Amino acid sequence: MTRVGILTGGGDCPGLNAVIRGVVRKASQNNIIVVGIKDGWKGLVQNIASDIAPDSVDDILQKGGTILGTSRTNPYKNPEDVAKVIENYKKMKLDALVAIGGEDTLGVANKLSKENKGLNIVAVPKTIDNDISATDFTFGFNTAVEVATEAIDRLHTTAESHHRVMVVEIMGRHAGWITLYAGIAGGANLILIPEIKMDIDEICTSLKRRKACGKAYSIVAVSEGATFKEGQFATQEKELDSFGHVRLGGIGEMLAGEIEKRTKIETRYAVLGHIQRGGSPSSFDRVLSTRFGVKAMELVLEKRFGFMVSLRGTNVAAVPIQEGVGTLKTVDMKLYDTAKTFFD
């Protein structure tokens, strides 16, 4: 074992650099060179990579984003790209590859591992969305929740002053984890997530009830992926990315408009967007990422290929990549029930 590649794919998230630092540190202690592949799978398709000097990662623990760059390139879109990935893995003289990513990047890692094409892959799950199965948490999630919670705290004071409804649109794709956690932590009065279809009549009734009993303002936290009950509103057709995902966004504006029209309560909306993904990782995420990075390199040293690092309770474990990518991990309904205790 002399050369190990590393790549980060999909949406960036706070903690990626801390994982890279963990991998490089553990590798250099075992006289292994880590090759940094640029921009996710794109770097393997196009053969763009360079060795990472161990000293160069000393100060990246606190830095958001990824020093390797990222892309949403899916080599399985073109069969020739898969062949290039295999060819360039050999050209780079890699003995193993650490692939850090969400369901898409890990889906590619899983396929490549299963197809037995000579690539030795260890995976690390990342995403602010926290929607990867077989791990209790992904890094990046805690930071996104902190950002969204702070935003909700700030919205309380302006909503209260103006006696308004404030709708806050939160990322998370088709899982409501960030919205649910930030909604609970920020004391939102309604939390709307993709796991439960929204009913505009119920939403408006609840907001009017709050107003009628003297609660002058309301905060509504809505996931970007939340949808209305069948027949209420049609979903907009939008462009798909190379993994077939629609670009989400816009539900906050739409919901705020409907609420104002139906309740006659002045309503505004805020979209947190990529602010949730940028900036420094929280201390929780720094610790989790560091543990994941070191564990990933340990799996490489043990030749446990086809495995993904995972948080199980308080332990960092290894699970087959397949378990992480099989199904989307949606929110814990018991936690949602707790949140509902505070809806009016």
Active site residues: 129
Name which of residues 112 to 131 contact ligand F6P (CB under 6 A): 127-129
Residue closer to ligand F6P, measured from CB, 66 or 120 = 66
Angle value at C-alpha 72, between 248 and 13, nearest 5 degrees: 75
Which two structure tokens, joined as six digits, stand for 334? 């018991």
> What's the closest the beta carbon of residue 215 comes to ligand F6P, in angstroms?
30
* Sign of the CA dihedral running 247, 310, 195, 341: negative
> What's the closest the beta carbon of residue 225 comes to ligand F6P, in angstroms?
7
Across 84-101, b (16+ Cβ under 10 Å) vs e yields bbbebbeebebebbbbbb
Residue nearest to ligand F6P (CB): 171
Q: Which of 26, 42, 173, 286 binds ligand F6P (CB under 6 A)?
A: 173
Give the residue among 124, 141, 138 at the shortest CA–CA distance from 19.
124
Q: Which of 5, 11, 22, 293 binds ligand F6P (CB under 6 A)?
A: 11
Q: Does 277 bind ligand F6P (CB under 6 A)?
A: yes
Name which of residues 243 to 262 contact ligand F6P (CB under 6 A): 248
Name which of residues 146 to 165 contact ligand F6P (CB under 6 A): none
Which two structure tokens, joined as six digits, stand for 115? 């197809």
Query: How many residues touch ligand F6P (CB under 6 A)?
Result: 11
Q: Are 266 and 162 in contact (CB under 8 A)?
A: yes
> What's the closest the beta carbon of residue 202 comes to ligand F6P, in angstroms?
25
Q: Does 295 bind ligand F6P (CB under 6 A)?
A: no
> What's the closest the beta carbon of residue 102 comes to ligand F6P, in angstroms?
6
Which two structure tokens, joined as six digits, stand for 120? 């030795």
Residue closer to ligand F6P, measured from CB, 100 or 300 = 100
* 102 vs 66: CA distance, rounded Å: 14
* 340 vs 26: CA distance, rounded Å: 45
Residue closer to ligand F6P, measured from CB, 128 or 318 = 128
> What's the closest the beta carbon of residue 124 comes to ligand F6P, in angstroms?
15
Name which of residues 16 to 35 contact ligand F6P (CB under 6 A): none
Q: Which of 52, 171, 271, 309 binds ligand F6P (CB under 6 A)?
A: 171
SS3 220: strand
In sequence order, what DSSP letters do the residues of 17-33 get, joined into one string?
HHHHHHHHHHHHHTT-E
> What's the closest the beta carbon of residue 249 comes to ligand F6P, in angstroms?
7
Residue closer to ligand F6P, measured from CB, 54 or 249 = 249
Q: Are 191 and 161 in contact (CB under 8 A)?
A: no
Phi/psi-derived region of residue 20, left when phi > 0, alpha when psi is between -120 and 50, beta in every other case: alpha
Residue closer to ligand F6P, measured from CB, 71 or 267 = 71
What is the binding site for ligand F6P (CB under 6 A)?
11, 102, 127-129, 171-173, 224, 248, 277
